[in-house]
Structure 1
Amino acid sequence: MKNYLLFVLFILLNNSLSAQQVTGELKVWHTVTITFDGPDTYEKDPINPFLDYRLDVTFSNGKEQFVIPGFYAADGNAAETSADKGNKWRVRFTPNDIGEWSYHATFIKGKNCAVAEDVSSFQKVKLDGEKGNFHILASDKEGVDLRGKGRLKPSNTHYLQFEGTKEYFIKGGANSPEDLLGYFEFDGTPQKHRFEKHIPEWTDEDITWQNGKGKGIIGGLNYLSSKGINTVYFLTMNVMGDGKNVWPWTEEHERYRFDVSKLAQWEMVFSHMDKKGLVKHIITQETENECLLDMGYTGIQRKLYYRELVARFAHHPGIIWNMGEENGITHWSPVGQTEKMRIKMIEYMKGLDPYGNTIAIHTLPTEKDHDRTVTPLLGNKSLDGLSFQIHNLFHTYETTLKWREASESSGKKWVVWLDEIGPAGKGVLPDDFPAQQDTVRKEVIWANLMAGGGGVEHYFGYKYPHNDLNCEDWYTRDRIWDMTFYATDFFQKYLPFTKMKADNSLIDTKDSYCFALTGQVYCIYLKNGGQPTIDLSDAPFNFSVNWYNPRKGGELIKSKIKKVKGGQRVSLGASPTLDEDWVVLVRRIN
């Protein structure tokens, strides 16, 4: 009897310890972390813990199954301790449904097993076969918090969609500084960005690490969120690139060993971004280094780099993987990836990510660049979106419309974003240059949206203060953030935009765009005001008429003409002012 009781106690203790390995808020769209005791090793061990071990954990709820890659976590608390050794191995999983979930771990060892296609011959080692279960409740988050919306994924439209709420997404984002992760309080990072002016935006409820580090970057992200910005663009690797201050590895010129504590600190920041409604637009390389890994091919270095990114960060509900900034061959970069290299890379990443996160690619700036790089990608089922750079900002509308229509004709609808305008020395200027910002509002923000684009991000030109590489103060573009939000907010509130298309043939006003769902709703953007008429011959219904101020946002405005009768061409009356841009909204009265 005594031995039997000891045996039962042993089992209960082991089950208790196993249960304690599961941490996090056990709710749908929240991160569930499972930490295992595995081999005791360190970042520079001769048996590489990143390449020569492989942890995969299968999660199932009886309806769906996800195989999630795990990773080496040193002592399990490296963000705080800066540890580079320990016996903790970890997996992060974001469940997409409530109820009971089970997990089962496989853990193998052998040369290059982390990136092997066939793993049947490798040695199984400690923690292989460990399993357990947990119960997931409904999310209690609301507002901008992405954990209340669900995973942001491609849809069968030209827009991304949150898997939980089914809300469609229009991007209004910050594109600079691209080396956001060159923050001086991350371990192993050159001391560059401090964001000291944003420290007052940090609150006592926000995270820090190592006795108060991180307040500058967290405060800055809080500020962007408060302005209605919903996306932030940043590089995870710029070795040999412009900034030369961001990499996930233990050293700048290392390719096979990763800085566990730095990546754990990145994870803390990304988790905070989830709470603040900030989608993470992750740029995995730039034009100067697109052939740094495996000379541009998808070999061991590139596969391992992508695996570590996916294992550590793919669980976040708001992720866009961008496979390369200014991708392609150009005269200012010594060597670029070929068409075959680009396609292989895109398809590998799509197959690696177990959640189906969005895969995009960023372009070079000219029309010739677009045609050369993008045309071969039309119809590719692994590519979900295009992140355009355009040298001439006045080409935004035509470029957006061209590639939206081309992708639809190819059988794979892309999201088309405008993420960088030229000339490179200007981009979007600070608030000291309101006239240029007004041009951006008209010719970039509203032009992309009215052509059926998925939104914009704002790049800061290198010839002006707080530019793409040295920005320390997002307040310098306070005005552009407001005007971006006014546009995205209008589309979200008033338009069934996923069903609408550009149709300028319906209107007769110079310098204007029309975005329409025939017979239901029409949105007209007037760059310089006017007295528009609209052809409603195919819509013999009654319609309401309202105006919207794209410079100041706010509520819809009624003018002298409040209703019109369709079945004919009708006048919508004069805009509230005749020398500024306005939006007129025409909606069918049910």
Structure 2
Amino acid sequence: MKLKLILLICSLFLQQLHAQEITGELKEWHTVTLTFDGPETYEQDPINPFLDYRLDVTFTNGQEKFVIPGFYAADGNAAETSADKGNKWKVRFAPNTTGTWTYKTSFVKGKNIAVAENSADGVKLSPDGTSGTFEVTASDKSGLDLRGKGRLKPTDTHYLQFEGNKEYYIKGGANSPEDLLGYHEFDGTPKKHKFEKHIPEWKEGDPTWQNGKGKGIVGGMNYLSSTGINAVYFLTMNVMGDGKNVWPWTEEHERYRFDVSKLEQWELLFSHMDKVGLVKHVITQETENENLLDIGYTGIQRKLYYRELVARFAHHPGIIWNMGEESGITTWSPVGQTTKMRIAMIEYMKALEPYGNMVAIHTLPNKKDHENTVKPLLGNKSLDGISFQIHDLHHTYETTLHWRNESEKAGKKWVIWLDEIGPAKAGVLPDDYPGQQDTVRKDVIWANLMAGGAGVEHYFGYKYPHNDLNCEDWHTRDRIWKMTYVATDFFQKYLPFTTMKADNTLADVKDSYTFAKEGDTYCIYLKEGGQPTLNLEGHSGKFSVHWYNPRSGGNLIKTKIKTVNAGEKVALGPSPTLNEDWVVLVRKLKS
């Protein structure tokens, strides 16, 4: 008996030697990192540390259970050391509730085991079987910090919701430069973007690496956050694409070995984006390279790529997986994935993703393209939304409304975003072109939201300064950021938008949109002002009338008509000015 007890104690002691260093703030929605001692290896080892080993850690707390993939971490501090070898293996986990969490480790070795359907086929190695517990308390974050809001997840509405504070999300984002990660101070990256104009916006205490690197891109995120922008779009791989300067691998033409230090530096950036309230819209491929991995199929290359992205970055409380920019086959992009290929990769990512983060896809620009590539995806339970590109910005309203309604009829309500407008040479122009930006405000930003869309991102056309591939200064669109925030802030403050629908028959003004929860809240957007009449027939009670300036925001405005009585068509009075866009908000007064 004594011998058995001694052996048990020794076994537990040896297990703990290989167990963990637990780092991070042990709080709800924050990143908890477990670091294990495992095999000593390196990025180019003949036994591939990314493909031929597999770390999974199961976390449980009562009824909550997550199986989180881990990853090879070289020396455990590669962002600073640029190490490509070592014996550290990590898992990052974001707990969704407080209390005692238990973890248990699976670590196996075998040919292609990382992407095998059954990890039990592998040979167990230390730290396999390591287990332990840790205590998680409530988050102490507030304001913009996403860790105070919780994970951003799809719902049974057409909008995402933060799992913690239950706030629904309206997106107002930056779509350019798409090669954001082609930043000159990331390891193994062509020396392109510097974002020098934003270095002064880096703040003491913000992250850097290797003696002060990163201030330009971190400062840029600070600037975008300060304008009210809440999302940033970027590619994690553009090999053979437009920029040819972003990839997660050790070399541009490598597909099985990942640059550990570069990815750790990306992680520093993404963590800072969490803190300043920026959702990370991750674009995993583009139209020029959608057949680069496994000739478009979901084979070993693609599965490994997705696993590494999920293992290293899925823990972030605001992350969106976009399966590809301009996805599909068209006349000007004849080599692309078929519908079957797209569905396979979408469903694989959704099954791989342990947290339930959103899975979306970006479209080709024309209506015919939408019919060919979007329609076959209707009703797919693994696809949470569509990131639309349109050639003609004046089609924003009808595109948003049509596909919102079609998705609802198909039984899977999509989040509908308008993330790129054409023509490609223009997109959203710099502040030197206020007239074009005013058109974007009316016919893109407000059009998407008033049709029941969940927000927009702004693409910069290639014929103008600071475009989609060479933008170095987001200040060039300062005006569009402010107007975007004016719209998203209004929706968040004043509308129960998840329960509202577009119905332009309710108001009688030309060039207007009406969004309503009938009998409760009505929002009318007037492109050129006017004197609207609202149909309140069949309803009862008294309603307040306020106006809002979509150009500059500010407080709600009262005019001569302050209240109206339901039961008939009611005149709301003239807008504060004519020949300018205005919003009128009509809400039922509580008795």
**Smaller-chain TM-score bracket:** over 0.9
Mapped partners of 1:122, 1:273: distance in 2: 37
Deviation at 1:122, TM superposition (A): 1.5
Post-superposition Cα deviations, 1:122-153, rounded to whole Å, max 9, x if no partner, equal 21112111111100000000001000000000
**Aligned residue in 2 for 1:191:** 191
Match of 2:540 in 1: 540
Match of 1:314 in 2: 314
Q: How far did 1:16 drift?
A: 7.8
The residue that corresponds to 2:137 in the other structure is 137
Partner Cα distance (2:442, 2:37) in 1: 56
Distance (Å, rounded) in 1 between the aligned partners of 2:97 and 2:197: 41
Q: Could you say which residue in structure 2 is the equivalent of 1:383?
A: 383
The separation in 1 between residues aligned to 2:18 and 2:548, in whole angstroms, is 57
CA distance in 2, matches of 1:69, 1:352: 9
How is 1:293-332 mapped onto 2 (pairs within 5 angstroms)? Answer: 293-332=293-332
Aligned to 2:118: 118
- Determine the C-alpha separation between the residues in 2 that align with 1:14 and 1:163: 39
**What residue number does 1:47 align with?**
47
Matched with 1:343 is 343
Per-residue displacement from partner, 1:360-391 (whole Å, max 9, x unpaired)? Answer: 00000000000000111000000000000000
- Shift in Å at residue 332 of structure 1? 2.3
Deviation of the 1:540 alpha carbon: 1.8
Matches for 1:92-107 after TM superposition, within 5 Å: 92-107=92-107
Task: For residue 120 of structure 1, report the CA deviation from its aligned partner.
Answer: 2.2
What does residue range 272-291 of structure 1 map to in structure 2 within 5 Å? 272-291=272-291
Q: Hey, what does 2:530 align to over in structure 1?
A: 530
Pick closer, same or farther for the CA change 1:456–1:86 going to 2, 3 Å: same
Deviation sequence 1:34-59 (CA, Å, 0-9, x none): 00000000000000000000000000
Q: Which amino acid aligns with 1:77?
A: N
Aligned to 1:369: 369
What's the TM-score, normalizing by structure 1?
0.98
Q: How does 1:181-580 map to 2 (within 5 A)?
A: 181-580=181-580
Query: 1:519-544 CA deviation, whole Å, 9 max, x = no partner?
Result: 00000000000000000002121000
User: Number of residues paired by the alignment?
Assistant: 588
- Structure 2 residue aligned with 1:88: 88
Deviations 1:335-370 (A, max 9, x none): 100000000000000000000000000000000000
Shift of 1:331: 2.3
Distance (whole Å) between structure 2 residues aligned to residue 111 and residue 40 of structure 1: 17
Deviations 1:418-465 (A, max 9, x none): 000000000000000000000000000000000000000000000000
- Distance (Å, rounded) in 2 between the aligned partners of 1:307 and 1:87: 20
* Seq. identity, %: 77
1:357 alignment partner AA: N
Mapped to 2, the partners of 1:543 and 1:462 lie a distance apart of 48
Residue aligned with 1:498, SS: helix
Q: Residue in 1 aligned with 2:22?
A: 22
**Could you list the per-position Cα deviations for residues 51-92 of structure 1 after superposition, in whole angstroms to 9, with x for gaps in the alignment?**
000000000012111000000000000000000000000000
Determine the C-alpha separation between the residues in 2 that align with 1:480 and 1:464.
15
Q: Which runs of 5+ in 2 are unaligned?
A: none
- The aligned amino acid for 2:166 is K
Local SS of the residue matching 2:302: helix
For 1:116 and 1:13, how far apart are their aligned partners in 2?
Answer: 32
- Aligned partners of 1:476 and 1:16: how far apart in 2? 54
Deviation at 1:13, TM superposition (A): 7.8
CA distance in 2, matches of 1:17, 1:475: 51
Contact persistence 1:521–1:588 (CA under 8 A): yes
Q: Could you tell me whether the CA contact under 8 Å between 2:462 and 2:469 is conserved in 1?
A: yes
Per-residue deviation, 1:324: 0.3
Moved over 3 A (4+): 6-20
Cα deviation for residue 8 of structure 1 reads: 12
Q: What letter is aligned with 1:144?
A: L
Whole-angstrom distance in 2 between the partners of 1:197 and 1:335: 38
* Contact 1:347–1:382 (Cα < 8 Å) also in 2: yes
Counterpart contact for 2:18–2:126, Cα < 8 Å: no
Contact 1:288 1:334 in 2 (8 A): no
Q: Helix, strand or coil: the match of 2:374? A: helix
Structure 1 Cα separation of the partners of residues 538 and 14 of structure 2 = 72
Q: Is the 8 A contact 2:20 2:37 kept in 1?
A: no
Aligned mates of 1:202, 1:13 — CA distance in 2: 45
TM-aligned CA distance change 1:119 to 1:183, over 3 Å: same
Instruction: Give the structure 1 partner of residue 172 of structure 2.
Output: 172
CA deviation vs aligned residue, 1:82-108 (integer Å, no higher than 9, x gap): 000000000000000000001000011
Cα shift at 1:210: 0.2
Q: Deviations over 1:532-562 (max 9, x none)?
A: 0000002121000000000000110000100
Q: Structure 1 pair 209/13, CA: closer, same or farther in 2 (3 Å)? A: farther
The answer (yes or no) to whether the contact 1:361–1:387 under 8 Å persists in 2 is yes
**Is contact 1:537–1:566 with CA below 8 Å preserved after alignment?**
yes
The alignment partner of 1:383 has SS state of coil
AA partner of residue 458 (structure 1)? H
Q: 2: CA distance between counterparts of 1:12 and 1:559?
A: 75
Q: What SS does the aligned partner of 1:200 have?
A: helix
RMSD: 1.7
Amino acid in the other structure paired with 2:395: H
Task: Work out whether residues 416 and 454 of structure 1, in 8 Å CA contact, stay in contact via their aligned partners in 2.
Answer: yes
Structure 1: how far apart are the matches of 2:306 and 2:382?
15
Does the aligned pair in 1 maintain the 2:298–2:344 contact within 8 Å?
A: yes
Q: Is the 8 A contact 1:540 1:568 kept in 2?
A: no
Give the secondary-structure state (helix, strand or coil) at the position aligned to 2:373.
helix
Q: TM-score, normalised by structure 2?
A: 0.98
Q: Unpaired segments of 5 or more residues in structure 1?
A: none
Deviates more, 1:37-46 or 1:123-132: 123-132
Q: Describe the shift of the 1:537–1:530 C-alpha distance in structure 2 as closer, same or farther (beyond 3 A).
A: same
Residues 1:159 and 1:291: Cα distance change in structure 2 (over 3 Å): same
Is the Cα–Cα contact under 8 Å of residues 507 and 514 in structure 1 kept in the other structure? yes
Distance 1:485 1:17 in 2: 51
Question: Counterparts of 2:521 and 2:125 in 1: how far apart (Å)?
Answer: 62
SS of 1:120's partner is: helix
Amino acid aligned to 2:206: D
8 Å Cα contact 1:416-1:453 kept in structure 2: yes
Judge conservation of contact 2:19–2:37 (CA < 8 Å) in 1. Answer: no
C-alpha distance in structure 2 between counterparts of 1:15 and 1:564, whole Å: 73
- Paired residue type of 2:227: K
How far apart, CA to CA, are the structure 2 residues paired with 1:337 and 1:358? 21
Residue 67 (structure 2) pairs with residue 77 (structure 1):
no
User: Within 1, Cα distance between the matches of 2:417 and 2:464?
Assistant: 24
CA distance in structure 2 between the partners assigned to 1:396 and 1:512 by the alignment: 14
SS in 2 for 1:438: helix
Distance 2:505 2:12 in 1: 73
Bigger Cα displacement from structure 2, 157-166 vs 18-27: 18-27
Give the letter aligned to residue 210 of structure 2: Q
1:205 deviates by 1.5
1:18–1:132 Cα contact (<8 Å) kept:
no
Residues of 1 paired with 2:585 and 2:276: CA distance?
Answer: 30
